[in-house]
Homo-oligomer: A and B are copies of this chain.
């Protein structure tokens, strides 16, 4: 049973799997594997959930091949778990009911860039770094940045976001259209390339964030943005968390169009200093980024400096020098590694919630209290413009069982707190199996409506079963 007890593991009969594998081998040859290392590799994500390998792994290279796999599985009631890069964060890849892991990482072609329309269509295995590399000469870029070099299909499926969602939105706002293979092997396109539409139900948004439980994403059309003419960054430390968050609230109301507003707590700053050999004050700190024209980013930075001063922010320093900027964001991106370095040998149990920004300070402070009382080290990093924050709970190998128990409890309290504040159990990590037990508390009767949709679109419950919605 997985760590959170969400689902008992069951598997199709061995003979069913054997028959299925034999059928698929005709098309896939050595692109289907039942070797344990392959199966284990494909069950691993960035989470703490138990490794539950699928019965076989198949590498698809086209929509037609995905259809073939889905139909072969549907015929036998065998589950299908889609795989992109294995960077999901809530045990999304565990084969809780056995079945086939469908690896789409080789479906990694950029299919069409429409520069005038500022959109691109990609196969699901294209990663975000690969995409931006591809786009480099077009003057356009794709902003969503969840940290890991995740696949676009996986990012769409988990409704990923990241540091610049406050300016550019999340995958929810930036997926224009999807091609999806449904549970019975039909190929649908959820929308056309028009920027807006009032035609039909918004299937795009229904499939974005559905974690492979309604169908397999085989193409993604994304919005792109012009690379800003100028970028400047700033760092500012505050005496209190409240000062930092209040400065952000004020700046957003003032309409300062910041591209990144990252909050790092004192513990995280301490970790960064040690890991990256820096000497920032060990205080709640905002890392900021401004996009615009030369004059615009200067004005934004200056205004934000004034706002921060009003709320107790000291040492506001900004730069538009690319090298300095890269150094700053490299430090921010190293936050996870820096955490681990705080207590070498530890693993990180990562969790996230999102609350209305007016409740953010209270939510973080109460959580820090829980963490301190439990004697755990757990830095906090927040996408504060969205009210979203991450807690990286450190688990030491010597005290793993005890640490796990304590951290699961802290996570539980955190989620309950976020929900009580009219927030959500996850801002960007997704539900997977880890947050599934909180969905009733968060959604109430609406969860039954979600279940009705799941049953209608996947009546056999073969699409990543045991994740998101229990049937």
Contacts from A to B (Cβ < 8 Å): 114-119, 139-140, 158-161, 165, 169-170, 172-173, 182, 186-203, 205-206, 208-210, 214, 225-226, 228-229, 249, 252-255, 257, 291-293, 295-296, 299, 303, 354-358, 385-388, 418-419, 422-431, 435, 438-439, 442-450, 452-457, 468-469
A226 touches B253 (CB 8 A): yes
A-B contacts, 14 of them at CB < 8 A, read A158-B198, A159-B196, A170-B196, A172-B202, A188-B443, A190-B446, A191-B424, A192-B442, A196-B428, A198-B430, A203-B449, A205-B205, A226-B252, A255-B292
A427 touches B197 (CB 8 A): yes
A445 touches B186 (CB 8 A): yes
Counting from the closest, the 4 A-B pairs by CB-CB distance are: A205-B205, A456-B456, A197-B424, A116-B358
B189 touches A446 (CB 8 A): yes
Choose one: B202, B386, B454; the contact of A206 (CB below 8 Å). B202
The answer to whether A196 and B210 touch (CB under 8 A), given A182-B449, A456-B452, A456-B453, is no
Task: Known pairs A114-B356, A119-B356; list 11 more (Cβ under 8 Å).
Answer: A117-B387, A159-B196, A160-B198, A189-B444, A192-B423, A194-B354, A195-B356, A197-B424, A200-B209, A229-B255, A255-B292
Choose one: B189, B193, B254, B385; the contact of A356 (CB below 8 Å). B193
In the complex, what residues of B have CB within 8 A of residue A206's CB? 201-202, 205-206, 453
Docked CA distance A260–B356 (Å):
29
Chain B, Cβ-Cβ closest to A179:
B446
Chain B, Cβ-Cβ closest to A431:
B199
What is the copy number of this chain in the assembly? 2
Choose one: B354, B423, B457; the contact of A453 (CB below 8 Å). B457
The answer to whether A449 and B254 touch (CB under 8 A), given A195-B357, A196-B161, A427-B198, is no
B199 touches A208 (CB 8 A): no
B226 touches A443 (CB 8 A): no
Docked CA distance A424–B190 (Å):
12
Query: In the complex, how many angstroms separate the beta carbon of A421 from the nearest chain B beta carbon?
Result: 9
A117 touches B439 (CB 8 A): no
Docked CA distance A191–B253 (Å):
23
Choose one: B194, B358, B426, B453; the contact of A387 (CB below 8 Å). B194
In the complex, what residues of B have CB within 8 A of residue A187's CB? 445
Query: In the complex, how many angstroms separate the beta carbon of A442 from the nearest chain B beta carbon?
Result: 6
In the complex, what residues of B have CB within 8 A of residue A422's CB? 192-194
B424 touches A194 (CB 8 A): yes
A431 touches B198 (CB 8 A): yes
B194 touches A447 (CB 8 A): no
In the complex, what residues of B have CB within 8 A of residue A191's CB? 424
Docked CA distance A468–B196 (Å):
17
Chain B, Cβ-Cβ closest to A435:
B199
B209 touches A116 (CB 8 A): no
Choose one: B189, B426, B455; the contact of A456 (CB below 8 Å). B455
A253 touches B358 (CB 8 A): no
Query: In the complex, how many angstroms separate the beta carbon of A8 from the nearest chain B beta carbon?
Result: 22
Choose one: B208, B257, B455; the contact of A257 (CB below 8 Å). B257
B253 touches A159 (CB 8 A): no
A355 touches B209 (CB 8 A): no
In the complex, what residues of B have CB within 8 A of residue A386's CB? 194-196
Choose one: B192, B355, B430; the contact of A419 (CB below 8 Å). B192
B358 touches A114 (CB 8 A): yes
Docked CA distance A116–B248 (Å):
10
B205 touches A210 (CB 8 A): no
A449 touches B188 (CB 8 A): yes
Docked CA distance A118–B252 (Å):
9
